[in-house]
């Protein structure tokens, strides 16, 4: 029987994502100065206020106010009427030193045997629904908000847009789990109060709000959705049919938003960060954590395994789980579920055993494989940590008090660099 599946995304201006981006920007600033830093940075944002707290072990200096204000300005909170803006919000730092009890379990004389920064299980997932090997509902949810933010920054159309927004895509699947059509799209976007009532009567207020909603809805239909379709391969265009249900700002009005409308906290959008509810999630958040925290580094590692496994043709869909004990380098277990889509004459346990031989999942090996001591994390903190395109860019480091420009790789866990090794191991 055909079924529906839904995923959501939130924009860089969503209060929880503002918090994530500040936490990761602070992490990057510390790593620019000291690549061996240990960081667990949490951020809270609310009306006119940013609070940064957490534990840090570093030889570097963190200009918390400067970093937080830069991120808030980049996102677009630059007007006092938002009740949260880069120039006037308060910024409080409550950072302190990392627990020595935790540190002693992580650092080793032999760096290759660095212990896991915490216990826990992490999941990676991949499927064939998109070129990025990501679930299509989440991919579309992200793309809708990426384009909405691009329209806002261009400032030529939909000039009433404010930074906070959310999307949700419900996809109808066939009996054999293939995307059939987009059933429902929900777009909630913060906006200026651009239609004023003619007088102070409730009816005038209602008419003004209705006019705003009608304009935003029409613009989503005629500007946003065509731009999104233009970014997709033509074979996906028929998913947008005439039966598509579209909800735009379902409450009728979304002027009050961002940290003024809802307090934001680091780590509250972990499903948006990963697979939109497909596969599984171990529960740990990513942003603000350095790579010794396997919540982050190992989640990247098992996404890398799952993606390369599917790309190599071992299965059409794969879920990979790894688990650790705090202070212990080697994982306590590796699990694979191919959902019955395996193309090899092996069960999932046998597939997992082969992957265990191919991939070194000790924390230090993961860090080396993906360059996770580099300041690459602010870029991950909006629109998903998975399914992004790897790229290289120049980054400024501080070494012996001097600025040094070095090229680093971003989203290295998305590379398909183990496909041939997997094919060889599985005789494909």
Helix (H, G, I), strand (E, B) or coil at 368: helix
> Is there a binding annotation on residue 269?
yes
> Is there a binding annotation on residue 254?
yes
> Is there a binding annotation on residue 203?
no
> Is there a binding annotation on residue 166?
yes
Indicate the helix (H) or strand (E) that contains 122: strand 120-127
* Cα–Cα nearest to 220, from 157, 285, 270: 157
Q: Which residues, listed in sequence order, are joined to residue 44 by a DSSP beta bridge?
A: 51, 265
Burial annotation 391-410 (CB, 10 A radius, 16+ → b, else e): eeeebebeeeeeeeeeebeb
In sequence order, what are the residues at sequence separation of 6 or more whose Cβ sits closer than 8 angstroms to the Cβ of residue 296? 284, 286, 289, 290
Helix (H, G, I), strand (E, B) or coil at 388: coil
> Is there a binding annotation on residue 112?
no
Q: Are strands 333-337 and 317-324 parallel, antiparallel or unpaired?
A: antiparallel
> Is there a binding annotation on residue 268?
yes
> Is there a binding annotation on residue 285?
yes
Strand order in the sheet with 49-57: 90-97, 49-57, 38-46, 264-265
> Is there a binding annotation on residue 17?
no
> Is there a binding annotation on residue 66?
no
What does the chain come to in residues? 428
Distance CA 120, CA 117 (A): 10
Phi-psi region of 120 (alpha: psi -120 to 50; beta: other; left: phi over 0): left
| Residue recorded with tokens 């939109």 | 276
> Is there a binding annotation on residue 196?
no
Burial annotation 80-109 (CB, 10 A radius, 16+ → b, else e): eebbbbbeebebebebeebeeebeebbeee
> Is there a binding annotation on residue 24?
no
Let me know: does 188 contact 171? Beta carbons within 8 Å.
no
Annotated binding site: 14, 16, 42, 55, 98, 164-166, 253-254, 262, 268-269, 285, 289, 293
Annotated binding site for ATP: 14, 164-166, 253-254, 262, 268-269, 285, 289
Annotated binding site for K(+): 42
Annotated binding site for L-methionine: 55, 98, 262, 293
Annotated binding site for Mg(2+): 16
């Amino acid at each position: 029987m055909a079924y529906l599946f839904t995923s959501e995304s939130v924009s860089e201006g969503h209060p929880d994502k503002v918090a994530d981006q500040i936490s990761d920007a602070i992490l990057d600033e510390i790593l620019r100065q000291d690549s061996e830093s240990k960081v667990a940075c949490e951020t809270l944002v609310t009306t006119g206020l940013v609070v940064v707290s957490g534990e840090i072990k570093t030889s570097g200096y963190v200009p918390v106010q400067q970093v937080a204000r830069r991120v808030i300005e980049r996102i677009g909170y630059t007007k006092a009427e938002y009740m949260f803006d880069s120039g006037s919000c308060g910024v409080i730092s409550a950072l302190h030193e990392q627990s020595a009890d935790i540190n002693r379990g992580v650092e080793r004389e032999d760096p290759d045997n660095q212990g896991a920064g915490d216990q826990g299980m992490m999941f990676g997932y991949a499927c064939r629904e998109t070129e990025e090997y990501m679930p299509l509902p989440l991919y579309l949810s992200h793309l809708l908000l990426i384009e909405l933010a691009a329209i806002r920054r261009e400032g030529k159309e939909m000039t009433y847009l404010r930074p906070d927004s959310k999307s949700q895509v419900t996809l109808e699947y066939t009996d054999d789990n293939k995307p059939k059509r987009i059933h429902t799209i929900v777009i909630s976007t913060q906006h200026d109060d651009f239609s004023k009532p003619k007088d102070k009567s409730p009816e005038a207020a209602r008419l003004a709000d209705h006019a705003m909603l009608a304009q935003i809805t029409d613009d989503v239909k005629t500007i946003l959705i065509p731009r999104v379709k233009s970014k997709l391969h033509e074979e996906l265009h028929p998913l947008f049919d005439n039966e598509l249900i579209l909800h735009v700002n379902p409450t009728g009005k979304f002027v009050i938003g961002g940290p003024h409308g809802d307090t934001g906290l680091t780590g509250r959008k972990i499903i948006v960060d990963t697979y939109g509810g497909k596969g599984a999630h171990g529960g740990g958040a990513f942003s603000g954590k350095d790579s010794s925290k396997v919540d982050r580094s190992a989640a990247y590692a098992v996404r890398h395994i799952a993606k390369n496994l599917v790309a190599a043709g071992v299965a059409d869909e794969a879920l990979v789980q790894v688990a650790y004990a705090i202070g212990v380098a080697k994982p306590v277990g590796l699990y694979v579920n191919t959902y019955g889509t395996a193309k090899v004459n092996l069960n999932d346990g046998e597939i997992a055993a082969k992957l265990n031989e191919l991939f070194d999942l000790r924390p230090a090996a993961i860090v080396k494989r993906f360059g996770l001591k580099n300041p690459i994390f602010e870029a991950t903190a909006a629109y998903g940590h998975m399914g992004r395109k790897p790229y290289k860019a120049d980054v400024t480091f501080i070494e012996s008090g001097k600025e040094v420009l070095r090229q680093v790789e971003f989203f290295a866990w998305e590379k398909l660099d183990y496909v041939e090794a997997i094919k060889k191991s599985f005789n494909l």
